[in-house]
Copies of this chain bind each other. A is one copy, B any other.
Amino acid sequence: MRLRKINTTSTAPETGFGTNVNASNQRFLNKDGSPNIARLGEPFFQFINIYHSLITMSWRKFNVIVLCFYFTVNLIFTAIYILLSPDKILGMLYTTKYEKFWEVFFFSAQTLTTVGYGRLNPSGISISTIAAVESLFGLLGFALATGLLYGRFSRPTAKIIYSDKALVAPYRHRDFEFKDMTAFMFRIANARRNQLIEIETQVIFSYNAEEDGRIQRRFQTLDLEISKASFLTLSWTIVHPITDKSPMFGLTLEDLDNLEAEFFISIKAVDDGYAQQVYSRSSYKSSEIVFNAKFIPAISQLPSGQTAVDLKKISSYNLLS
């Protein structure tokens, strides 16, 4: 089967994915905007990657890791105390070996957290030294936890809601005369209460093309009706009018399938709360595109007269008959 020829009048941006990469029906960008690329030959252990994982993982996972770490460190120090001379820990009240183990374990916990009640207290040089090291370790550990917790909260990230589907719908614009004109469109909204200002959007259309008998990957920027806005407070429908100069001109859904089309969406904005630039990306594969449909408005007027946006309706659309 021969691939459909595509208009190439619009600019061809460099995406960093290269032209020799064959898509073979995989995504390049995952829905969350991360590239779908494996990495080989990475060093096994990189502090910065661990930090990054701890910063970005879910709260549930983070809490479990903190608890496990706390338990494990206590267990290790407990083992050291027991191997050295547990009887130098004064004030123990145990009657059984089992209770003795736990007394040592709780002495360790009281040292690590620097709560140091004092009923259990170290004597002798070896045990006192280990306790001094453990309390240092504890303080540094909680210094680390402070940094991690702050990092988790304060990292400026946009959370943009994208409509599940992109639509190709009839479109009328005062500047164009065509009656049957359509446009490629999707809808976004800000999931956070932080204001997003100075928003910029870029849409790149990527597809397979045949050159000298070899299949190559091509990338083209799509011209948008409006690509910049001062605020993202309501929903925003981003529209690429499919003029006769658009690379999408004349393409059917079947064509997009054959071309293994993927639309890369990049959004850049300033988060007003942090006064910092934030970035969001996503992509639409041909399976996530619906022809001949129209978004249902997500904006309404409250009885109070105030304008409201409904985040749950961002993906809602009607098929046109």
Binding site for B on A (CB under 8 A): 13-18, 20-22, 24-26, 34-43, 46-49, 51-52, 55-56, 59, 66-67, 70, 74, 90, 93, 99, 102, 106, 109-111, 113-123, 125, 128-129, 131-132, 135-136, 138-140, 142-151, 153-157, 159, 191-195, 197, 199, 204, 226, 228-234, 236, 264, 266, 270, 272-279, 281, 299, 301-302, 305-313
Contacts and interface: CB of A to CB of B under 8 A. Distances in A.
Contact of A193 (B52, B90, B236, B307): B52
Contact of A307 (B16, B26, B156): B26
The oligomer's copy count stands at 4
A128 B117 CA distance: 11
A145 B145 contact: no
B46 A15 contact: no
A140 to B, nearest CB: 6
A310 B197 CA distance: 31
Contacts of A34: 195
Nearest to A300: B40
Contact of A128 (B21, B102, B113, B142): B102
Given A117-B122, A231-B35, A197 B279 contact: yes
Nearest to A193: B49
A275 B272 contact: no
